[in-house]
Structure 1
């Protein structure tokens, strides 16, 4: 028995959004999974957009800030996570352009300091691999290694 007999798509969408923010894509998928028709989902989403309860740009900015503040993700990884949430590429590009590259290399440096308790030239290659597997760019990795050469951990 489909769940749409118990609640309409609008009520179900409000219930879903009350727990956490979602992208429009994610919300649509959840409502389709609950066996609501395309027309019911379209009407509910349109109403949510009208009221401002659903906004992909705000969602993307909140998620980006959350992951940035965690200090353990590269820009590439954060973008990948935004794509997994179904955020449109145009919004991702806008969020990416507002990104401060200083934060990314600070996050990489923090990760290296946490992971490697001592610094010597033999760790250099390990640091390159460690940061590269986490999606950091070669520019950021070079900057971290230069910083590590200047100072002891």
Structure 2
């Protein structure tokens, strides 16, 4: 038996039931299935009006998924690629920057755990953290090891 063809609204609700989507991302996904006469933007407006689609929830969801593994610049870049901008982006960036050093230390500890002895190993650790989107300052502090160990 063939499954019935979903309407555009049905597809949108299926996507949103799986995870939060940005308006930009959902428009891109739905436009593939839009037929002549379908108004994707009107559907997106309807979903936002009923609070089924929310940029704030999407941004919070993405930050919760990515912040533990990536630095502020990488998370902010991903948010921008999904169409998040303005004051919400500024607030998120400030929050991520405040906790970046702690997150960099945790990522470094999970991956390496010990302070590098030679220049090649230090460079490898630095590249790893920078590619994850952490700032140079946060990466340098993380590579020094656990600052709490010195006080025990």
Q: Same fold (TM over 0.5)?
A: yes
**Distance (Å, rounded) in 2 between the aligned partners of 1:7 and 1:115:** 44
Matched, 1:108 2:107: no
Contact 1:72–1:111 (CA under 8 A) maintained in structure 2: yes
Contact 1:60–1:87 (CA under 8 A) maintained in structure 2: no
**Distance (Å, rounded) in 1 between the aligned partners of 2:107 and 2:127:** 13
Distance 1:11 1:140, change over 3 A: same
CA RMSD of aligned residues (A): 2.7
**Under a length normalisation based on structure 2, what TM-score does the superposition of the two structures give?**
0.77
How many residues are matched?
A: 144
Residues 87-135 of structure 1, C-alpha deviations (whole Å, 9 max, x = no match): 3221322321233523x22222122223324324414333222212222
Structure 2 unaligned spans of 5+: none
Contact 1:9–1:40 (CA under 8 A) maintained in structure 2: no
**Distance (Å, rounded) in 1 between the aligned partners of 2:128 and 2:11:** 43
Provide the residue aligned with 2:21 in structure 1: 22
Q: Displacement of 1:59 after TM fit?
A: 0.8
Contact 2:20–2:57 (CA under 8 A) maintained in structure 1: no
Matched, 1:74 2:77: no
Contact 1:105–1:140 (CA under 8 A) maintained in structure 2: yes
Provide the residue aligned with 2:43 in structure 1: 44
Matched, 1:126 2:120: no
Distance 1:119 1:139, change over 3 A: closer
**Distance (Å, rounded) in 1 between the aligned partners of 2:6 and 2:148:** 62
- Name the structure with the higher helix share: 1
Provide the residue aligned with 1:59 in structure 2: 58
**Under a length normalisation based on structure 1, what TM-score does the superposition of the two structures give?**
0.77
